[in-house]
Amino acid sequence: MLRKKELKALRVPPGGKFRLADRDPGKAMVPELDDRDKAEETARRFLRENLDELSDAQETLWANDVYSVLVVLQAMDTAGKDGIIKHVMSGINPQGCEVTSFKRPSEEELDHTYLWRCMKALPERGKIGIFNRSYYEEVLVVRVHPEILARQKLPAGKQGKKFWAERYDDINRFERHLVRNGTIVLKLFLHISKKEQRKRLLARLENPDKHWKFELADLGERKLWDQYAEAYEEAIAATSTPWAPWYVIPADHKWPARALVAQLLTTTITRLRLKVPEVPKEQLRKFAAAKRELTSEGK
């Protein structure tokens, strides 16, 4: 489904400027999903077909035990991170996948650097790790809400452009270290429009079964939409690197977004060209002896 040109279209080129306005959150990205009347049905079918391939890719990743994959999910509220995790990861063996959601830092976490709690949650070799929000919150929500930064027990000093540039540099170096040591970093920004967010917030208020999803704080954050957009634009531009680029997923339509993420994850793993490790000849001889022993028991 996801051809080379479409994969390139999702990617944010390293070293350049990035504007959310240049990316359409309602665009299908692939011709098969252009028909809006059939988009959900087609995307559901693509997702089902892809989950088998994703399962095989994950099993090979597990068996190889050399690489791991870290999926970083970032988005505005209601963009569909939980839905991505629920539907895309449903085809993966739970033993090979770990999901970590990062909330407000604890006192213990505040006594360490902001990367510490994320380091502890990194996936083991052979596994897929998903960060539902991540260390990127430290250059997004923390930037929009400077009062959070004041609680981080940092050494005295100015917190202007240089401060944030140094945080971007820390993140880039951290991700480069991960990639050099076998962790593939797949960073996904689910791009939702302000209009679609309003629609989804209203749906939560109008449906009693969805009331639990609604938080009054979401309205306050919505009023800061422009500040968040600016923070995302700068952070993505500064941290989309050759070793860990950002991919912008149009998220106004949930099922096409899920299908794109599933295909992108599968493509990322299959491009490693991993093979199930071959068993040494000596071990094969032992297997043959074990087979003969077990076979003889039935006689």
Among 79-88, 108-117, 276-285, which is the least confidently predicted range? 276-285
What tens digit of pLDDT does each residue of 241-277 get?
999 999 999 999 888 899 889 989 999 999 999 988 8
Task: Read off the tokens for 282.
Answer: 């000596």
pLDDT at 90: 77
Share the mean pLDDT of the chain. 90
What tens digit of pLDDT does each residue of 123-150 get?
999 999 999 999 999 999 999 998 998 8
Contact of 255 with 44, CB cutoff 8 Å: yes
Residue 20 has pLDDT above 70, yes or no: yes
What confidence tier does 159 reach under pLDDT thresholds 50, 70, 90?
confident
Tell me if the pTM is above 0.85: yes
